[in-house]
Amino acid sequence: MANLSLNLLLLAFFAYLTATIFFVFSLSKQRKESVQVQTNSSKWGIGFVLLGLGLSFGYFFARWSAAGHAPVSNMFEYMTTLGIAMALAFAIIYFIYPTRADVIGLFTMPTVMLLIVYASTFSTAIAPLVPSLQMPLMLKLHIITTAIGQGLLAIGFAAGLAYLIRTLDLTQKSWKPRVLEVIMYGLLCVVAHVILSHGFSAAGYEIEFDYVNENGEQSEVPMTYNLPPIIGPNEWVNLTKGAMDPIVSVPGNIEAGDFNTLIWSFAFGFILYGLLRLLLRKRLSLFIQPLVKGSSRLRWMNLVIVRLRLVSQYLLWRIDFCDDLGANCMV
């Protein structure tokens, strides 16, 4: 059942990818014909979104059946659930604004795919619940509600990003286009992290270090690196023969492995950004802008963002309510 759930999630990923392609075709047609209608490509796009949602829910309940609890107990499961919630929120928005939602789909579907791929960098094994999550009410209400709320907020991010790219004059020399470009670079850093993690994992790269922890004690469990060590842990000792040694070490109160991954992600993200700039010969936001310009005025996006903010605030209130309820249950 666990393998079935992962296969369903993989099929959902390709359904979202196909939906993205159709939304690109739809926006291109709207731009050429200067009309704001629901195109056939748009209908195919939302069709594949709904197919992806169906497969995603199949993953969710198949994994729930295999694990015996809601699949939101570790980073892989939670990030995947967040992507599903984001796709669900987009589907709802599409049916409210069927002639205008393609532009949000262009930003939402790649983000959903990125969340799924990023989630796969963590362990996909089914693990028992930690003690703090062994209360069914807390797990079902608190964490699932949190994932839905964050999915709505992520849609707000996609709508806001599309609005900025649509309305800003990206040809002028000011801080606004530069900040927008920094956001695009940040997204590429996430892509870089995914590529690096999967690439070195597929190659079987692994280095272990003994180190001294933040309490000044020798750690009983070695720290494992899956990327070449630029940053080493405190007072490290390399346990892997013939492996690369770190260039510098950090104090024990800093998580050296995560810091090392962060540096690699920023560095490789910068390389990806530079290659795309050389290939496109323009800023990434300026390259995307013509597709977004093909839609009509995006004032409705302000309404979308405001509505999502109100719904998210309500869900956050529900999260606080669940916390209080959970605390009462533990008493």
Predicted confidence band of residue 39 (pLDDT cuts 50, 70, 90) = confident
* pLDDT: which is higher, 299 or 192: 192
Predicted confidence band of residue 310 (pLDDT cuts 50, 70, 90) = low
pLDDT at 137: 64
Using CB atoms within 10 A of its CB, is residue 193 exposed (0-12), middle (13-18) or buried (19+)?
A: buried
pLDDT at 293: 67
- CA nearest neighbour of 60 among 115, 118, 108, 12: 12
Q: Yes or no: say if 192 and 305 are a contact pair by the CB < 8 Å rule.
A: no
* Exposure class string for 19-41: b at 16+ Cβ within 10 A, else e: bbebbbbbbebbeeeeeeebbeb
Span 19-30, mean pLDDT? 87
pTM: 0.71
- Distance (Å, rounded) from C-alpha 105 to C-alpha 16? 10
- CA nearest neighbour of 22 among 124, 102, 104: 102
For residue 223, report the phi and psi dihedrals to the nearest 5 degrees: -90, 130
pLDDT at 331: 32
pLDDT for residue 274 is more than 90: yes
pLDDT at 297: 45
Span 256-270, mean pLDDT? 92
Q: What is the pLDDT of residues 53-65, one digit of tens each?
A: 999 999 999 988 8
Predicted confidence band of residue 314 (pLDDT cuts 50, 70, 90) = low
pLDDT for residue 286 is more than 80: yes
Domain boundaries, the chain: 2-170
